[in-house]
């Protein structure tokens, strides 16, 4: 059954483009992809202001994700201003009356060429840093990474979180004991900060991201390069989905 948006109402049969919004989400980034997909659909107007999403049980079934994952994704979009949650007999989850909408460019790649180039550069730099960190990291390097994940877990202002986040990723390059990689990582983190500054920073996203930081550090400590790089790639892919979903128009 296809779904079609109705202003101030529920979604009914119709658009194939809208149907794609509710296709099953692929692991391992189910939370981030759900945020990205729904946020993009709202920005493109496929889910118009005032329209009500399907009930939680139905939507989780269509996306083939757990209700807990869906609930966290919807909470993130509420916090970013894309959705509104109303209680009571006539309640539900609705697209906000004034959500961020795309202006002009509605191509599939919502990030644009410049942002995509930054993300590609980040993959190359950070993956290489982790491979070398597995080979070369000393105990004090790993202790420093643990300290930074602890700082991010304190749930203070976003500026403090982001500062520790930047130092964590630069710390990966420092653990690789490669001055040139440290320079490249510093550059790419500066470019990432420009992108990240343009979106909302829901606590759910930050805590999930930091949990991955901790696991990456554990895998480096175990000298497990394969799993560390795979998790890092998942971590970066999650950031990409969040940027796609929450990036406002006029970026």
pLDDT tens per residue, range 96-151 = 998 876 654 444 455 678 888 999 999 999 999 999 999 999 999 999 999 999 99
Give the end-to-end CA distance of the chain in Å, rounded to a whole number: 35
Low-confidence residues of the chain: pLDDT under 50: 1-7, 12-13, 104-108, 251
pLDDT in the model for residue 103:
56
- Residue spans per domain, the chain: 4-95, 112-246
Which DSSP symbol is given to 222?
Answer: T
Please say whether the beta carbons of 136 and 175 come within 8 A: yes
For domain 112-246, which CATH number applies: 3.40.190.150, 1.20.120.530, 3.40.50.10800, 3.40.50.1370? 1.20.120.530
Is 4-95 a domain of CATH 1.10.10.10? Answer: yes
Instruction: Assess contact for 94 and 77: CB atoms under 8 A.
Output: no
pLDDT of residue 70: 92
Q: Would you tell me the crossing angle of helices 30-43 and 203-221 to the nearest 10 degrees?
A: 150
Q: Is 140 buried (19+), middle (13-18) or exposed (0-12) by CB count in 10 A?
A: exposed
The predicted pLDDT at position 26 comes to 79
**Are both 4-95 and 112-246 of the same fold?**
no
Distance CA 235, CA 127 (A): 11
């Amino acid at each position: 059954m296809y779904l079609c948006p109705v202003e101030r109402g529920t979604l009914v049969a119709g658009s194939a483009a809208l149907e794609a919004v509710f296709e099953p989400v692929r692991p391992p980034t189910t939370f981030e992809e759900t945020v990205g997909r729904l946020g993009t659909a709202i920005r493109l107007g496929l889910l118009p202001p005032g329209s009500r999403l399907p009930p939680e049980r139905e939507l989780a079934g269509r996306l083939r994700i757990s209700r807990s994952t869906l609930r966290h994704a919807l909470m993130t979009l509420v916090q970013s201003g894309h959705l509104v949650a109303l209680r009571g007999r006539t309640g539900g989850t609705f697209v906000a009356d004034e959500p961020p909408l795309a202006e002009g460019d509605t191509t599939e790649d919502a990030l644009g060429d410049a942002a995509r180039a930054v993300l590609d550069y980040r993959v190359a730099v950070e993956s290489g840093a982790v491979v070398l960190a597995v080979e070369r990291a000393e105990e004090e390097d790993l202790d420093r990474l643990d300290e930074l994940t602890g700082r991010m877990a304190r749930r203070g202002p976003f500026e403090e979180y982001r500062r520790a986040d930047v130092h964590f990723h630069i710390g990966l390059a420092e653990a690789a004991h490669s001055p040139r990689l440290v320079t490249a990582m510093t550059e790419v983190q500066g470019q990432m900060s420009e992108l990240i500054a343009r979106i909302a920073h829901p606590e759910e996203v930050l805590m999930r991201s930091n949990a991955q930081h901790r696991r990456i550090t554990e895998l480096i400590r175990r000298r497990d390069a394969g799993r560390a790089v795979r998790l890092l790639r998942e971590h970066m892919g999650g950031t990409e989905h969040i940027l796609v979903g929450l990036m406002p128009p006029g970026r």
